[in-house]
Amino acid sequence: MTDQMHRIALASRPTGAPTPDNFSFEAADMPTPGDGEILVKVHYMSLDPYMRGRMDDAKSYAQPVPIGGTMEGGAVGEVVASNSDAFQPGDFAFGMFGWASHAVIPANQCRKLDPAHGPITAALGVLGMPGFTGWHGLMEYGRPKEGETLVVAAATGPVGSMVGQLAKSLGLRVVGIAGGADKCQMATDTFGFDACLDHRAYDDASALRAALKEACPKGIDIYFENVGGKVLEAIIPLMNPFGRIPICGMIAWYNAGGLGANAGDEKDNLPKLWRTVLVNFLSVNGFIISNHWDRYPAFLAEVGPKVASGEIKFVEDIAEGLENAPQAFIGLLEGRNKGKQIVKVA
Amino acid sequence: MTDQMHRIALASRPTGAPTPDNFSFEAADMPTPGDGEILVKVHYMSLDPYMRGRMDDAKSYAQPVPIGGTMEGGAVGEVVASNSDAFQPGDFAFGMFGWASHAVIPANQCRKLDPAHGPITAALGVLGMPGFTGWHGLMEYGRPKEGETLVVAAATGPVGSMVGQLAKSLGLRVVGIAGGADKCQMATDTFGFDACLDHRAYDDASALRAALKEACPKGIDIYFENVGGKVLEAIIPLMNPFGRIPICGMIAWYNAGGLGANAGDEKDNLPKLWRTVLVNFLSVNGFIISNHWDRYPAFLAEVGPKVASGEIKFVEDIAEGLENAPQAFIGLLEGRNKGKQIVKVA
């Protein structure tokens, strides 16, 4: 055990897309666990689009990261010291350890990892927050029915690939949207989507809409929303009566700098959307998975074995080194990753 | 019984707000009921905002009225001839008789009126489609809880006044929005709202928002949406976490002529709304009451006695003469009516 740890702090708030200057890589004294706390050496940390929201000083479901504060995030690591009966040194744990090499955290805020559920990185993606988000949003708000059509963007990401694979197994037609031909191929070949459209191949929402119309000849019953922007604009008029739109994110708008940029070309997009919700009797639900951890055991019981058996597949992009987390995060927001973006810290 | 009937046909499709030229008052031969049909002499017909949508040639939950076709609408009248066991001459019936002095219609598409439920005009408003819309939308999608705050616009209309009175009786704080000081006074004095704001007194969405913030010190849990436009823009940032937005209409946008006009000043309104739905975990449901007639007996059983006892109040604006229906309808879209707009036909 060394005397020093490292962390990545929020140096300044981004205007639009984050840049490396918004982050600082810092050394700090190794912390000591107090009563009921554990010291964890982080092995892998997760990068997720929601972290962009934490960098803004805006009202949201969570407090913003303060300037100078450690960037927040889920991670997995090895317990190196424990003042809690719940963990022994050598145990592996998941928790909100942040962008850091080590963390001290109350033991009751961590979850011990079960090696039977596959590699520990799975706790950050397919069996962690993103996979759980996809499962809960689809089952609770998407209410999938055999024969229906579902569309999900960021199709090869850990949320989209979970949503698509689950919907496929329930007998839906599943159409993905992704950025780049290679990701589209991964969506169909690896994850078994019926089709996947490269949104970069379409200049605007109406061109994308025309392609979606062909890919979804019976219209769209479920649009699992995680991107917003051009994709949402394209989809609105294609929603079927009684359609459902679970919303877990809107990555296209996260970098929009107060939403002035990237907001869509037309000022009547809101009335168009609202009218469609009315005349097609749509059900739209925003949710954040942290309100629903009571359902996590049910998720793990249902999906864990499917991941172990290979029925549900997952893909991980692993960047090397804590100091490279900012670049990997910037790449994530630009869609450069293919699967679940992870940083190998130790 | 005369040989002639009268009707109002759709002469042309409006661009923006309808004008008298869009309608034509016509005479026609008196129709004869076939097997299972009844001939009804219309006494009162209903005018409702949804009829504006039927005048456009746009995809909606219902077919548009064809050019030359009789304007659609609910009405109450006396059965003058019957080829059905379900009705006798002299019975009163509610049905979609249209903007007409007489109608022939299959008996099984009509509902016999029970005199115990008050005046026959009640079947067009407080105990008809609008009142039922308010009850169903509030109870099914609004999910009201004691101590919460509800906002509804068109507060003195037949939907808004039902929603507000029901919510009040369930222990919610109820804030109305209406056009004009006289309507606001009616909302508080007649219908018992806690407060009512005159949207005409505020230049833009942010001025209205500031007033709403004062009127709703604990934020807004339920926004019962029937207007859209400036009111919606004002409300979006005031919604509380886990808030609900049932949508049954958007009268502010009905006249928007393809939605280019009246669409809101800012092109980022859609991302702002979408972001609020996500970060506040909102539940948004569009619905049209014609999909839910199976619930009508439950509505009548619950609300009918409250109307009969005077616990739930209603106000009607009655225009005289079928030929004046277009002017009354134009006035309804401009908010000139105070209560439920009805036309006395016979």
Q: Chain A: nearest CA to B90, how far in angstroms?
A: 37
- B273 and chain A in contact, CB less than 8 A: yes
Confidence of residue B264 (pLDDT cuts 50, 70, 90): low
Minimum Cα–Cα distance from B265: chain A residue: A267
- pLDDT given for residue B259 in this prediction: 41
- Give A132-156 pLDDT, tens digit per residue: 999 999 999 999 999 999 999 999 9
Cα angle for residues A77, A83, A85 (degrees, 5° grid): 90
CB-count burial class (<10 Å; 0-12, 13-18, 19+) for B204 = exposed
Do residues A13 and A39 touch, judged by C-beta distance below 8 A?
A: no
CA–CA separation, B43 vs A119, rounded Å?
A: 75
**Domains along chain B with CATH numbers:** 4-125+315-344 (3.90.180.10), 129-289 (3.40.50.720)
Evaluate whether ipTM surpasses 0.95.
Answer: no
Q: Which of A261-270, B163-172, B222-231, B233-242 has the lowest mean pLDDT?
A: A261-270
Residues within 8 A of A (CB atoms), B 37-66 only:
53, 59-61
- pLDDT given for residue B270 in this prediction: 83
Residue B136 has pLDDT above 50, yes or no: yes
When pLDDT is averaged across residues B98-126 and rounded to a whole number, the result is 92
When pLDDT is averaged across residues B243-272 and rounded to a whole number, the result is 71
Residue B24 has pLDDT above 60, yes or no: yes
Pairing relationship of beta strands B220-224 and B239-247 according to DSSP bridges: parallel
Look-up of token digits 């019976």: A218
- pLDDT given for residue B285 in this prediction: 96
Residue B257 has pLDDT above 50, yes or no: no
> Taking CB atoms and an 8 Å cutoff, what residues of chain A touch B282?
284-286
Least CB–CB distance from B275: residue in A250, A271, A279: A250
> Taking CB atoms and an 8 Å cutoff, what residues of chain B touch A270?
232, 263-264, 269-270, 273
Please state, in angstroms and as integers, the Cα–Cα distance from residue B46 to each residue in A221, B91, B96, B100, following that order: 34, 19, 10, 11
When pLDDT is averaged across residues B183-198 and rounded to a whole number, the result is 97
What's the distance, CA A309 to chain centroid?
23
> SS3 of A76, please?
strand
Least CB–CB distance from A275: residue in B248, B253, B264: B253
Closest CA to A154 of A129, A128, A186, A122: A186
- Give B195-225 pLDDT, tens digit per residue: 999 999 999 999 999 999 999 999 999 999 9
Task: Provide the H-helix boundaries in B20-128.
Answer: 50-54
Q: Which of A58-72, B188-202, B222-236, B295-309 has the lowest mean pLDDT?
A: A58-72
- pLDDT given for residue B276 in this prediction: 87
- Give A205-227 pLDDT, tens digit per residue: 999 999 999 999 999 999 999 98
Least CB–CB distance from B279: residue in A61, A276, A279: A61
Do residues A276 and A284 touch, judged by C-beta distance below 8 A?
A: no
CA–CA separation, A238 vs A216, rounded Å?
A: 9
- pLDDT given for residue A272 in this prediction: 84
Confidence of residue B260 (pLDDT cuts 50, 70, 90): very low
CB-count burial class (<10 Å; 0-12, 13-18, 19+) for A29 = exposed
- pLDDT given for residue A274 in this prediction: 86
Across the interface, whether the CB atoms of A277 and B268 are under 8 A apart is answered: no
- Specify the amino acid at residue B59: K
In percent, the amount of chain B with pLDDT more than 70 equals 95
- pLDDT given for residue B135 in this prediction: 98
DSSP assignment letter at A234: H
Choose between B48 and B261: higher pLDDT.
B48
Residue B258 has pLDDT above 50, yes or no: no
- A281 and chain B in contact, CB less than 8 A: yes
Q: How many CB atoms lie within 10 A of CB A17?
A: 15
- Helix A296-308 vs helix A129-136: crossing angle, to nearest 10: 110
CB-count burial class (<10 Å; 0-12, 13-18, 19+) for B138 = buried
Closest CA to B287 of B249, B342, B252, B340: B249
When pLDDT is averaged across residues A269-294 and rounded to a whole number, the result is 90
Q: What pTM did the predictor assign?
A: 0.87
CA–CA separation, A82 vs A89, rounded Å?
A: 6
- Specify the amino acid at residue A256: A
Which parts of B64-172 are beta strand (E)? 75-82, 92-95, 102-106, 111-112, 149-153
- Give A298-315 pLDDT, tens digit per residue: 999 999 999 989 999 999
Cα angle for residues B151, A242, B175 (degrees, 5° grid): 5
What's the distance, CA A196 to chain centroid?
19
When pLDDT is averaged across residues A236-243 and rounded to a whole number, the result is 94
